[in-house]
Amino acid sequence: MPKIKLAENTVQQIKEVCAEFGNKEGELINVLHKVQNKLGYLPAEVQEVIARELKTSVAKVYGVVTFYSFFTMIPKGEFPISICMGTACYVRGAEQVLSEFKRQLKVEVGESTDDGKFSLNCLRCVGACGLAPVVMVGEKVFGRVAPTQVVNIIKEYREGCASENAKSA
């Protein structure tokens, strides 16, 4: 794993979150949650700082990060793509849509493209089953997506003409 050096103010931010939760080991999940909200992801160096602040082992922190699918160690792309794998979407062909995204972007689920533009993830039911299969890019919902439309969705964002509100936080 390549080491990245955290900026001083990032370290400060993490320490502040830990302090907010009283530097208690029992608050680990809450700390991770909040830090991921601030930084977008939880790389090894961030976990090391958290372990130090909460006086626990980095192996324990990593254990929790890898246990919950919510936590990620990979930075999300500028445009995070989520494919719904809920029952309705699944039976209406979400799997084929997903494999088309993987083929076009040359990434696996949970990964980001090298240029950092896209990341690919699966989720369970966004409550729009009537539109199955559903794909979300950032906050924007695409319904009744066919594998043939995938190339256009990607093109739309890659060329930068997509609405700004699709950008991830």
Partner 1 sequence: MDTVQLTIDNKPLVVKKGATILEAAKSIGVHIPTLCHMKLDDMNIENKPGGCRVCVVEVEGRRNLAPACCTEVAEGMVVHSHSIRAINARRTVVELILSDHPADCLICAKSGNCELQDMAHHLGIREIHYKGEQSTYREDTSPAIIRDVDKCIMCRRCEMMCNEVQTVGVLSAINRGFNSVVSPAFEMNLDHSVCTYCGQCVAVCPTGALTEVNQTNNVVRALSDPAKTVIVQTAPAVRAALGEEFGMEPGTLVTGKLVSALRSLGFDKVFDTDFAADLTIMEEGTELLNRLTKFLEGDKDVQLPILTSCCPAWVKFFEHQFPQLKDIPSTARSPQQMFGSIAKTYFAEKMGIKREDLVVVSIMPCVAKKYECGRDEFKVDGNPDVDYALTTRELASLIKLANINFSRLSNEDFDQPLGESTGAGVIFGTTGGVIEAAVRTAYELYTKKPLPKIDFNELRGMEGIRQATIDFDGFPINIGIAHGLGNARELLKRIEEGESNFHAIEIMSCPGGCIGGGGQPYHHGNVDILKKRQMAIYQEDGNKKIRKSHENPYIIQLYEEFLGKPMSEKAHQLLHTEYFDRT
Contacts of partner 1 in 71-110 (CB under 8 A)? none
Contacts of partner 1 in 25-44 (CB under 8 A)? 44
Asked if residue 122 binds partner 1 (CB under 8 A), the reply is: no
Figure out which of the listed residues 32, 35, 42, 47 binds partner 1, where binding follows CB under 8 A: 47
Asked if residue 67 binds partner 1 (CB under 8 A), the reply is: yes
Stretch touching partner 1 by CB under 8 A, among 33-41, 57-65, 100-108, 125-133: 57-65
Please name the amino acid found at residue 42. Answer: L
Closer residue to partner 1 (CB): 47 or 119: 47
Asked if residue 111 binds partner 1 (CB under 8 A), the reply is: no
DSSP secondary structure string for all residues of 31-94: HHHHHHHHHSS--HHHHHHHHHHTTS-HHHHHHHHHH-TT--SSPPPSEEEEEE-SHHHHHTTH
Tokens at 135, concatenated: 């794909």
Closer residue to partner 1 (CB): 22 or 63: 63
Which pairing describes strands 140-142 and 79-84: parallel, antiparallel, or unpaired? unpaired
Tokens at 108, concatenated: 């696996």
Asked if residue 62 binds partner 1 (CB under 8 A), the reply is: yes
Helix (H, G, I), strand (E, B), or coil: what is residue 8? helix
Residues that constitute the known binding site for [2Fe-2S] cluster = 84, 89, 125, 129
